[in-house]
Amino acid sequence: MRNFNETTITDAVLERIKDAGDPRIKQVSEALVRHLHAFVREIRPTQKEWEFGIDFLTRTGHMCDDKRQEFILLSDTLGVSMLVDAINHPVPEGATETTVLGPFFVQAAPEKDSGADISGPMEGDPMLVTGSVSTVDGKPLVGAIVDVWHSDDDGYYDVQQLDQIGDLAMRARFHTDANGKFHFWSIKPAAYPVPHDGPVGEMLEAQGRHPWRPAHVHFMISAPGFEQLVTHVFVAGDQYLDSDVVFGVKDSLIREFARHPAGRAPDGRMVDTEYFHLNYDFGLKQVASNARAA
């Protein structure tokens, strides 16, 4: 087979990969070829535009290292990460909706007792976070692992400023108590821009988009027999809720970070300044095998 043209090249490529041994590889490869060729036929790029596209992907790869993943950022800002999340995490009634993990999760977050202040050396408005973890039908989950992390009041995470603060802060790992509850203190987070000093930032600017995410607190919650939950809780009223650059906002994940005057907080602590209080109750979905067995 030779002498291919615009109308015959796609079938020729599909013919070449028809004997792929792995059915999934064959399926993915065929779909990639069909859709990629259709995309090229639709936009009809000039040779210069095609070269720019190759250069964009090359520069995206060059921005990746052990501290930054520009391809994940590209996936996030094109909505692909949230699409993959939606495909893989259908949510039954009573289960908390999921969002993307984000780039600032740290595997070895410090273990803390419920009620601890995790703000470390960071200054900002005090924030009390209270919550619970249960099954979709409301049964408390005892000993569930609750990983939390968030930005400071300037929008920066601890890992972005370790040379200044010296250690991890505004993140920790808790275990739910006998009633499935947990609580901790920290500082209220702020909205922040995703890294936009590379190819993805150039793309956002060219598309007429901003790089901002609304203020939020991250949660990763695990319990034996249940699907791991990765989600955020967003600050109600944030100006970027309807234009989150990574498309992660869902109405069920928006909560008031209620402002309270100085005095005795719900956990009994005396606070000498005004503070904010976030409360959220999380529901976990059983893993499929356990759900079938039940």
The CA distance from 164 to 259, in Å, is: 29
pLDDT tens per residue, range 40-62: 999 999 999 999 999 999 999 99
User: Tens of pLDDT along the chain (294 residues)?
Assistant: 788 999 999 999 999 999 999 999 999 999 999 999 999 999 999 999 999 999 999 999 999 987 789 999 999 999 999 999 999 999 999 999 999 998 889 888 999 999 999 999 999 999 999 999 999 999 999 999 999 999 999 999 998 898 888 899 999 999 999 999 999 999 999 999 999 999 999 999 999 999 999 999 999 999 999 999 999 999 999 999 999 999 999 999 999 999 999 999 999 999 999 999 999 999 999 997 654 444
pTM score, whole prediction: 0.91
Q: Which of 151, 174, 161 is nearest to 220 (CA)?
A: 174
How buried is residue 266: exposed, middle or buried, by Cβ count under 10 Å (0-12/13-18/19+)? exposed
Please write the tens of the pLDDT for every residue from 94-110: 999 999 998 889 888 99
C-alpha span between 55 and 48 (Å, rounded): 10
Residue type, 147: D
Strands 254-255 and 229-235: parallel
Alpha carbon distances (Å) from 206 to 53, 112, 202, 210? 14, 44, 6, 10
